[in-house]
Amino acid sequence: MKKHNFNAGPCILPQVALENTAKAVLDLDGIGLSLITISHRSKEFQAIIDETEALWMELLNIPAGYKVLFLGGGASTQFCMVPYNLMKTKAAYVETGVWAKKAAKEAKLFGKVEVIASSVDKNFTYYPKVTNIPTDADYLHITTNNTIYGTELREDLNSPIPLVADMSSDIMSRPVDVSKYALIYGGAQKNVGPAGVTFVIVKEDILGKVDRPIPSMLDYRTHVDKGSMYNTPPCFAIYTMREVLKWVKAQGGVKAMEKLAIERAKVIYDEIDRNKMFVGTVEPASRSRMNICFVMAEKYKDKEEAFLEFAKSQGMVGIKGHRDVGGFRASAYNALPMESAKALVACMQEFEKKNA
């Protein structure tokens, strides 16, 4: 049976990227060696990482003065690297869910954290207005897409202080004005590759302003200076990332990704709003295009397990909601075909016919 992959991360990737990676694992471009057995200092791997960086620069129209880094440690390591490198005394954080809270928790190790906006009052079901950004804070940290709660901020804020964004789960799903950010980071495993590589887009002139000693591996300047090759980079994951970005480019770039994301999300949200058995958990204005959260309507609460079973029998994968939200979550990342969105809708309609 055809599977429809709604996993939240790691998640669906373009088929062509998987096929090309599989080939390269056996024989990289006909050189008679596997991608994962060659030196990261070889000219073959250097060409791969250079092209990956060039694709980032091109697809997101990254201006001069910024570097793209490929690191290990996941987005979670960035939660501490950001304050380590940028916080002198105080930073402002926007609290929009689990990941945002984890980021703020690490920052507290280095100074004062001021939570300037939060949606905790309604269990993170909306994106709070970000106003009154304190000009005496060293930076403002936001999470643009809240993977667990399904809220998203799609505008690039005007911040009077350096703006730092965790874009783990919506990177490359829309054009971003990178010039408005000091630093953008994320784990690759939601829209741009497999787990194992973390991307960081950093404006070089924000670095080197704190007095504390920073261990080499946690100092962005180390990785800027060494072109992400201070130590062995995650070669395999970077290769797949390159293939994913080549695919994004071939589809028409981030503008095309955005158009698809809008259409795909609309198909699913329209059905949630129409179907009397389901309700969306997020305020419409804040609804994420990437992670679509919904629950069973009150009257049908006892049908949750039955729907999960039915959806599974129809090939749906990964639609069980995160334990903090319950219900269902359909993640609709870049590589998810419209056909899968429509299959989920068909499944919801059939379930309604049989049960409501």
Ligand X SMILES: *Cc1c(COP(=O)(O)O)cnc(C)c1O
Site for ligand X in 36-95 (CB under 6 A): 74-76
Q: Is 112 helix (H, G, I), strand (E, B) or coil?
A: strand
Q: Identify the residue among 4, 9, 14, 117 touching ligand X (CB under 6 A).
A: 9
- How many other CB atoms are found less than 10 A from the CB of residue 268? 23
Answer yes or no whether residue 7 interacts with ligand X by CB under 6 A: no
Q: Which residue number, 28 or 69, has a Cβ lying nearer to ligand X?
A: 69
Residue from 99, 170, 219, 320 carrying the catalytic annotation: 99
Query: Does residue 203 have an active-site annotation?
Result: no
Instruction: Classify residue 136 as left (phi > 0), alpha (psi -120 to 50) or beta.
Output: alpha
Cα–Cα distances in Å, from 331 out to 197, 198, 230, 334? Answer: 20, 20, 35, 10
Cβ contact 348:278 at 8 Å: yes
Residue from 56, 138, 170, 190 carrying the catalytic annotation: 190
Answer yes or no whether residue 166 interacts with ligand X by CB under 6 A: yes
Answer yes or no whether residue 169 interacts with ligand X by CB under 6 A: yes
Answer yes or no whether residue 99 interacts with ligand X by CB under 6 A: yes
Answer yes or no whether residue 173 interacts with ligand X by CB under 6 A: no
Binding-site residue ranges = 41, 75-76, 99, 147, 166, 189, 231-232
Distance CA 69, CA 57 (A): 11
Binding-site residue ranges for L-glutamate = 41
Binding-site size for ligand X (CB under 6 A) equals 12
Residue from 166, 219, 303, 320 carrying the catalytic annotation: 166
Cβ contact 145:287 at 8 Å: no
- Supply the minimum distance, in Å, between the C-beta of residue 11 and ligand X: 10
Query: Does residue 247 have an active-site annotation?
Result: no
* Cα angle for residues 107, 111, 116 (degrees, 5° grid): 70
Cβ contact 197:71 at 8 Å: yes
Q: Which residues bind ligand X (CB under 6 A)?
A: 9, 74-76, 99, 143, 147, 166, 168-169, 187, 190
